[in-house]
């Protein structure tokens, strides 16, 4: 079991560029999540997907879109990156009893 995997690990973008962060889990979990983590702000939920085919906004969805491609994969897209989106992005998934498991993160810098 690889658990939750994320690609890429690091990315540098220029303002206005677009990119997609990929996330996959091999634990057959129904729910998947995207968070961002910033110093002093803790973890903030961007979007989540309770099951394949459904997505919902979290606390900070503006500037992001998501796709739950299938049960395994949940991608996060930045259509027009802004410096305020410089952050560390984590994908997570949840099993029964709602224990949450995290990927290693993507460190994104927007210049």
Partner 1 sequence: KQEVTQIPAALSVPEGENLVLNCSFTDSAIYNLQWFRQDPGKGLTSLLLIQSSQREQTSGRLNASLDKSSGRSTLYIAASQPGDSATYLCAVRGAGNNRKLIWGLGTSLAVNP
Which residues are at the interface with partner 1 (CB under 8 A)?
Answer: 31, 40, 42-43, 45, 48, 50, 58, 90, 92, 94, 97-105
Tell the smallest beta-carbon distance from residue 105 to partner 1 (Å). Answer: 5
Tell the smallest beta-carbon distance from residue 84 to partner 1 (Å). Answer: 20
Tell the smallest beta-carbon distance from residue 98 to partner 1 (Å). Answer: 6
Nearer to partner 1 (CB atom), residue 83 or residue 104 = 104
Q: Which of 102, 104, 78 is CA-nearest to residue 12? A: 78
User: Rounded to whole angstroms, how far apart are CA atoms 104 and 75?
Assistant: 15
Q: How does DSSP classify residue 98?
A: G
Both tokens of residue 40? 């002093």
Nearer to partner 1 (CB atom), residue 23 or residue 78 = 23
Whether the CB-CB separation of 95 and 101 falls below 8 Å is answered with yes
Nearer to partner 1 (CB atom), residue 47 or residue 85 = 47
Nearer to partner 1 (CB atom), residue 22 or residue 31 = 31
Tell the smallest beta-carbon distance from residue 110 to partner 1 (Å). Answer: 19
DSSP string covering 60-93: --TTEEEEE-SSSBEEEEESS--GGG-EEEEEEE
């Amino acid at each position: 079991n690889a658990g939750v995997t994320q690609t890429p690990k690091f990315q540098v973008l220029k303002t206005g560029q677009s990119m997609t962060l990929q996330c996959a889990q091999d634990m057959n979990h129904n729910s998947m999540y995207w968070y961002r983590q910033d110093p002093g702000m803790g973890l903030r939920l961007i979007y989540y997907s309770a099951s394949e085919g459904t997505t919902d906004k979290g606390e900070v969805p503006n500037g992001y879109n998501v796709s739950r491609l299938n049960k395994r994969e949940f991608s996060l897209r930045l259509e027009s990156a802004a410096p305020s989106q410089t952050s560390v992005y984590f994908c997570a998934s949840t099993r029964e009893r709602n224990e949450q498991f995290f990927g290693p993160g993507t460190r994104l810098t927007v210049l």
